[in-house]
């Protein structure tokens, strides 16, 4: 009993000490990522990258002499949980800003919460609905789908290929891409001859591809995340499909090349610049940060940094920029985020304005092609 009382008082002592001893309070930043659950391929690198930025800020003396404390929670890809955790970050942890969540669905669910509390949110999800219409408190760093679609269509226009077949995955990512592909076709003078879907867990797409082979399409655009597109590439090779195959930025990682193997050769896709960082011209303003990000991430986590980690990296750096411009009141941060100009991050060059909280232009994407199991830039 005596020992118990002793350890209790010691514990209380430590608590009070740690609360009082800090000369200046750290800046608390909240993070919501789906580190587990289906979107974990987004959440895990995002959390790692956010923590990496926080650590490096602290190592170099913090922001205006104050340390940064990243409080990060795992949403498991669940919108309900994301809302609960956002409330916890705002009410209990009293964070000044939140980065994440990883997916569009979760972001949409969290938006009313941050709006009511008046806390800025920098989402790492791609959906256009997040920033259109503009919400004073909500920003995002992931590139819009429509920019990726435009990149493919511009290339097709240049090559005078104007009949395409679409094969999209039947989930949120695929249907959003499909919407954009169909909406932008007319303005680029492209006709969609075939528009089919496949299930996210399908293991054979030869039926759809056989049908496509029988159409007059000159190019096939497949919109999905791994492993579906790898199956499509393999099946296309099996069937001897001659038309060029385009994928989305959803598979722009080495994993796709690994899964599709030889069938990946010649596949083209719009991608953020991070996977081709080393072959970018030195004049590219993003190159310096890209190389630094890829190397540092690899040093810490044994794999190359990817886009998804890049979204969180951008969010942290934009937040840092805003915090350096003024105090750490949420309203000031939101106002200063809108003053971010030409920040050359991982996902692109960000310029937030009061009417644009996505901040990216078409130059955020480059078109890449798989050659000899690696990415090359398509000129």
Partner 1 sequence: MDLLPQLTQYAFSGLSTGAIYALIGLGFAIIYNSTGIINFAQGEFVMLGGVLTHFFLMVLKFPLVVSMAVAILVATAIGVAFERLTIRPLKRPTPLSMVIITIGGSIFIRGVAMLIWGKDTHSLPPFSGNEPLVIAGATVMPQHLWIFGLTLLVIAANKYFFYYTISGKAMRACSYNRTAASLVGIDVRRMVFLSFAISSAMGAMAGIIIAPLTMTAYDVGVMLGLKGFCAAIIGGMSSGFGTVLGGLLLGLLESLGAGLISSGYKDAIAFIILLLILFIRPQGLFSKAQTERV
Q: Which residues bind partner 1 (CB under 8 A)?
A: 40-41, 170, 196-199, 201-208, 210-211, 213-215, 226-227, 230-231, 234, 237-240, 255, 258-259, 261-263
Q: 356 exposed, middle or buried (CB, 10 Å; 0-12, 13-18, 19+)?
A: middle
* Residue whose C-alpha is closest to residue 274's, from 157, 141, 150: 141
- Cβ(357)–Cβ(121) under 8 Å? no
Q: Which of 30, 34, 122, 37 is nearest to 75 (CA)?
A: 34
Q: Are 244 and 268 spatial neighbours (Cβ–Cβ below 8 Å)?
A: yes
What is the closest distance, in whole angstroms, from the C-beta atom of residue 294 to partner 1 in the complex?
A: 19
Element (H, E) at 74: strand 68-74
How do strand 121-123 and strand 163-169 relate by DSSP bridges? unpaired
- Nearest distance from residue 229's CB to partner 1, in Å? 11
Min separation Cβ 200 and partner 1, Å: 9
For residue 301, the minimal CB distance to partner 1 (Å) is 13
- The answer for 15, left when phi > 0, alpha when psi is -120 to 50, beta otherwise, is alpha
- 258 vs 324, beta carbon nearer partner 1: 258
Q: What is the rounded CA–CA span in Å between residue 337 and residue 322?
A: 5
CA pair distance 3, 7, nearest whole angstrom: 6
- DSSP code for 186: G
Output 42 or 57, the one with its CB closest to partner 1: 42
For the bound state, the minimum distance from the C-beta of residue 171 to partner 1, rounded and expressed in Å, comes to 12
Between 266 and 354, whose beta carbon lies closer to partner 1?
266
Place of tokens 């099946």: 235
CB of 208 to partner 1, least distance (A): 5
Question: Least distance to partner 1 from the beta carbon of 85, Å?
Answer: 21
d(CA 127, CA 140): 9
Token output for 216? 């007059």
As measured in angstroms, the least distance from the Cβ of 363 to partner 1 is: 31
10 Å CB burial of residue 263 (0-12, 13-18, 19+) is buried
In three-state form (DSSP H/G/I as H, E/B as E, the rest C), the secondary structure along 297-354 is HHHHHCCCCCHHHHHHHHHHHHHHHHHHHCCCCHHHHHHHHCCCCCEECCCCEECCEC
Least separation in angstroms between CB 308 and partner 1 = 13
Pick 136 or 163: Cβ nearer partner 1:
163
Rank residues 228 and 348 by Cβ distance to partner 1 and give the closer one: 228
Q: Which is nearer to partner 1, 196 or 296 (CB)?
A: 196
By beta-carbon proximity to partner 1, the closer residue of 54 and 217 is 217
Q: Which is nearer to partner 1, 182 or 188 (CB)?
A: 182
- CB nearer partner 1, residue 191 or residue 203: 203
- Measured from the CB atom, the residue of 9 and 203 that comes closer to partner 1 is 203
Is the Cβ–Cβ distance between 52 and 300 less than 8 Å? Answer: yes
Cα–Cα distance for residue pair 214/6, rounded to 1 Å: 81
Nearest approach, Cβ of residue 343 and partner 1 (Å): 31
């Amino acid at each position: 009993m005596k020992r118990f009382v002793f350890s209790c008082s010691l514990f209380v002592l430590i608590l009070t000490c740690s609360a009082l001893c800090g000369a200046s309070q750290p800046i608390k930043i909240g993070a919501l990522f789906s580190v587990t659950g289906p979107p974990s391929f987004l959440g895990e690198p995002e959390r790692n990258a956010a923590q990496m930025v926080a650590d490096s800020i602290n190592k170099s003396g913090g922001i205006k002499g104050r340390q940064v404390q990243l409080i990060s929670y795992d949403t498991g890809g669940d919108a309900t949980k994301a809302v609960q955790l956002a409330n916890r970050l705002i009410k209990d942890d009293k964070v000044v800003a939140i980065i994440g969540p990883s997916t569009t669905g979760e972001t949409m669910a969290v938006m009313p919460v941050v709006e009511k509390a008046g806390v800025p949110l920098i989402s790492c999800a791609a959906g256009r609905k997040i920033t259109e219409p503009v919400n004073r408190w909500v920003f995002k760093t992931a590139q819009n789908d429509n920019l990726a679609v435009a990149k493919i269509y511009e290339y097709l226009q240049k090559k005078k290929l104007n009949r395409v077949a679409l094969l999209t995955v039947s989930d949120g990512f695929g249907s959003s891409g499909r919407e954009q592909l169909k909406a932008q076709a007319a303005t680029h003078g492209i006709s969609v001859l075939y528009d089919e879907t496949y299930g996210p867990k399908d293991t054979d797409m030869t039926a759809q591809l056989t049908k496509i082979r029988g159409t007059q399409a000159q190019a096939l655009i497949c919109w999905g995340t791994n492993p579906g597109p790898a199956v499509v590439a393999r099946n296309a090779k099996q069937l001897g499909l001659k038309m060029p195959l385009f994928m989305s930025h959803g598979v722009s990682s080495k994993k796709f090349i690994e899964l599709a193997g030889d069938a990946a050769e010649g596949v083209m896709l719009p991608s953020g610049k991070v996977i081709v960082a080393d072959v970018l011209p030195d004049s590219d303003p993003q190159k310096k940060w890209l190389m630094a990000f890829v190397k540092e991430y690899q040093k810490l986590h044994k794999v190359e940094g990817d886009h998804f980690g890049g979204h969180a990296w951008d969010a942290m750096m934009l937040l840092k920029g805003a915090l350096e411009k003024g105090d750490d009141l949420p309203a000031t941060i939101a106002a200063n985020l809108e003053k971010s100009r030409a920040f050359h991050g991982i996902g692109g060059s960000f310029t937030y304005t009061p009417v644009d909280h996505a901040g990216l232009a078409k130059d955020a994407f480059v078109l890449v092609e798989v050659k000899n199991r690696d990415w090359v830039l398509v000129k």
